[in-house]
Structure 1
């Protein structure tokens, strides 16, 4: 494994896909989505058990009901697991939360582990119940993931699916599920499926009004490589066809559609940036070199579907966009932990700079990064723009770069965490808040767009006629936002917002924030 990838065991954060869908999944990947809301849980909390004593989490770490054996492929060392019980695992969860959770003092104290059958269900309730200013849960980001699956996606950009991202424009009947984009060379791309395609049926079940959500979800979110399902699809031109898609191991291409758009005032660069994966480092460097060679005077970064990823890649991108005079010696992001300072970190250890050289994720380390030297940039954004993507916006604004947002409000996730494996499950609980060079990081309800523009599924991403890109080009030339219209995209957007529908619904690992360099606590 390359040195850059060995450093991936670090800080990760996640933005849940908000909306009426109550479980993450869909898209091209692994989790199972839910069309219909799950049954509401009781608001009555059980009394705390007398034996839920909080201990030093290290004393019960690796005590597993089903210990792993052999060599851990992720670390190359023997698994640390020892023979234990489910009670041991739940005790570790509670103690780890008390030690490291950002809002440890807001976790309800009248919960009892005996009322939860597994460590995962116990972990799920150990979070703050408080709300943001808009009334959303402050912590919408608590989740767990199988450790092997987490490593496969975060390090290599590989998951199992069809290679398409689905947008749920209407989550309740009549449902409206569209293709947002496809991954190159994936089963979906090879089948000629394009953006805007409507999913009409899955295995013969009507998507719009079908009641068998279990089968619908199974088809939309395949669990295994080789698993095949039949789809009836309606292309943007209205033609329909039925075809079978088999899930495969899909390698995501995080940087796509890099191009130069001619305008009256000069060339404007565009890039579609979907994931802050390790493989994005090489793609972003190549994109910036291409745009620099084209002599662009402005840049539009399309991050409307970018849920986040490596924070160091976000820092590399922000540095490449801006001028050295703005970022030299400046803070890209500083991490603020709870009052216990649980990892015994110094200020220097919690400060991420604007990187000026490649880190070695997918290109040789130590190479000087190209710089566009821009004082302004436009980001195409929406509710799926999250975490590390929001850090790009916040960090650039923190050093005086003018960032205009076109589209919708971002997800609102200035928080992060250190993913922690225990007994084959990796736990993700918020452990820090990120702030920029001027100390700002309070955007729990997201960044408001400069120009609110509906997502346009009638045009390809990168097409200058696509509504959000067209608005961005208009904004830079006239300084004004286009007037709200009555186009099909606007009508669909209003309907979706009225229903509280989600757009992309993805596994949590697709919506995260990672820091490459390991933390080295000073004890």
Structure 2
């Protein structure tokens, strides 16, 4: 039986072999070995590698992003394969590494444009605009109002003024769905309107504005008001821009020269800016707290473990430096003594447009002096970011840059509390509630402007400006601001990363 089975197998095998012709034989060519991906020499991977390493080390929300963990990859090949899966550095950063709850980290492909924006340079008509519903219960139609105009800007030259209302752009009614698109072109025509007793009506008048590169001085109004013998300093300050710290300091020198004893700091449209400028401003307002803690900064768990407590503190100071303070010892910079008012009370106008460094001023000063917040609940932006370049680790400063590209990232790296451990993630609630009304916008810096009048009444202890405060009945339902599509919108940033002992820095195993 066994022999039979063997014979049958042999016959079948012979038949199969004999039935195959030469034409049926398929010869398989040996495969070429797959090309091994490497980061070196591949610019796309170099950029993504820089992004991952910088985020892995500094990102505030590292713990919430699985692919940013030190053990996220078992081998370098696995890591490189992951980088290669993303079709662009932007997609990799925004969709692969940024925590879902983070709306304030971003990436740029040209860090020079980013640096310009931090210096107050941007393309704009010069009109700062707020957009609100006309009648929310009836439609999504919007109206815009000019909050202020940059002096000498195209908007100023075209005749736009604070308080002007418009409902159309290039003949199209503004709505919740189209306002961003209508405000985007470099040239557009505003269809003006006015507030009447029955609402907002068009006037038929048009004004055309053109955008251009402008440098905006954040000091819009600075003046001394004589309030029945009380010298009140008024400062409308719209962004914490380091390039204007010298001018800001000069304003406080003029306040001192004018014997100012009370200060109204107007931050109603100030969305934030540089932390060190905020610290300098806090020191100008006070002066008696040099060396005391203004804010305590918190980082991700990894960074927290590498820093001393002192390295996490931003303190009141008595000097300004004329450039970036990242240079150790500031050897290359000229110090400028801070002009301080030594106040024990300050009145701050802040609204739903006030964020980041504006809120830091209020919160940081609160443990030391009486801060009277007039206006509205603020945004509640407590995190700070930093610009990280493709350069030497771990600071990624603008030194020894990769010359082959201009990508940089601006991730959130820290949050902060004041000296009492208090923060404001839900926003700061005003001591005295007061909103702008479109039918009584007022002139900025004039004692009859409603929000300033509210502060002056508190200072004087009488109600001489009561009529200015009460006037106005149309409080808009806020929707948007004209600058909200800019990267630096409501951003608070630092330039000086805390220094870390290189010996304490651990490299992920797969990167060794």
Find the residue that maps to 2:412 and give its secondary structure: coil
Alpha-carbon shift at residue 473 of structure 1 (Å): 1.7
Structure 1 residues 174 and 218, CA, compared in 2 at 3 Å: closer, same or farther? closer
Q: Which of 217, 221, 226 matches 1:262? A: 226
Q: Retained in 2: the 8 A contact 1:197–1:236?
A: no
Q: Which of 390, 393, 411 matches 2:359? A: 390
Q: Which of 356, 360, 364 matches 2:318? A: 356
CA distance in 2, matches of 1:359, 1:515: 14
Alpha-carbon shift at residue 92 of structure 1 (Å): 4.8
Q: Which residue of 2 aligns with 1:432?
A: 414
Q: Does 1:402 align with 2:366?
A: no
Q: Does 1:334 align with 2:296?
A: yes
Q: Which residue of 2 aligns with 1:43?
A: none
CA distance in 1, matches of 2:494, 2:93: 23
Alpha-carbon shift at residue 486 of structure 1 (Å): 8.0
Q: Which of 376, 379, 384 matches 1:416? A: 384
Q: Deviations over 1:396-448 (max 9, x none)?
A: 113x11111111111112211222235533322221112223333x2111111
- The higher radius of gyration belongs to 2
Alpha-carbon shift at residue 314 of structure 1 (Å): 1.0
The answer to which of 371-380 and 240-249 deviates more is: 240-249
Q: Retained in 2: the 8 A contact 1:167–1:502?
A: yes
Find the residue that maps to 2:408 and give its secondary structure: strand
Q: Which residue of 1 aligns with 2:330?
A: none
Structure 1 residues 479 and 143, CA, compared in 2 at 3 Å: closer, same or farther? farther
Q: Does 1:174 align with 2:133?
A: no
Higher relative contact order, structure no. (Cα contacts within 8 Å, ≥ 6 residues apart): 1
Q: Which residue of 2 aligns with 1:121?
A: 91
Q: Retained in 2: the 8 A contact 1:281–1:361?
A: no
CA distance in 2, matches of 1:217, 1:103: 30
Q: Which residue of 1 aligns with 2:346?
A: 377
Alpha-carbon shift at residue 466 of structure 1 (Å): 1.9
Q: Which of 59, 65, 69 matches 1:107? A: 65
CA distance in 2, matches of 1:463, 1:366: 35
Instruction: Show the 5 A alignment for 1:39-78.
Output: none
Alpha-carbon shift at residue 373 of structure 1 (Å): 1.0
Q: Which residue of 2 aligns with 1:502?
A: 480
RMSD between aligned residues: 3.4
The answer to which of 457-466 and 419-428 deviates more is: 419-428
CA distance in 1, matches of 2:443, 2:408: 37
CA distance in 2, matches of 1:439, 1:292: 32
Alpha-carbon shift at residue 333 of structure 1 (Å): 2.4
CA distance in 2, matches of 1:509, 1:169: 22
Q: Which residue of 2 aligns with 1:229?
A: 188
Find the residue that maps to 1:217 and give its secondary structure: helix
Q: Which residue of 2 aligns with 1:297?
A: 261
Q: Which residue of 2 aligns with 1:159?
A: 122
Q: Which structure shows the higher strand fraction?
A: 2
Q: Deviations over 1:294-313 (max 9, x none)?
A: 22221101101111112111
Q: Gaps spanning 5+ residues in structure 1: where?
A: 1-58, 64-81, 130-136
Q: Does 1:520 align with 2:481?
A: no
Q: Which of 424, 439, 446 matches 2:427? A: 446
Q: Deviations over 1:140-188 (max 9, x none)?
A: 323233422111121x321111011111123972112111111111101
Q: Which structure shows the higher helix fraction?
A: 2
Q: Which residue of 1 aligns with 2:106?
A: 143
CA distance in 1, matches of 2:86, 2:442: 48
Q: Retained in 2: the 8 A contact 1:184–1:253?
A: no
Structure 1 residues 520 and 463, CA, compared in 2 at 3 Å: closer, same or farther? same
> What TM-score do the two structures reach when normalised by structure 2?
0.72
Q: Retained in 2: the 8 A contact 1:309–1:510?
A: no
Structure 1 residues 342 and 88, CA, compared in 2 at 3 Å: closer, same or farther? farther
The answer to which of 166-175 and 286-295 deviates more is: 166-175
CA distance in 1, matches of 2:500, 2:217: 35
Q: Gaps spanning 5+ residues in structure 2: where?
A: 1-37, 73-81, 197-201, 325-332, 391-404, 503-512
Q: Does 1:283 align with 2:272?
A: no
Q: Which residue of 1 aligns with 2:328?
A: none
The answer to which of 428-437 and 235-244 deviates more is: 235-244
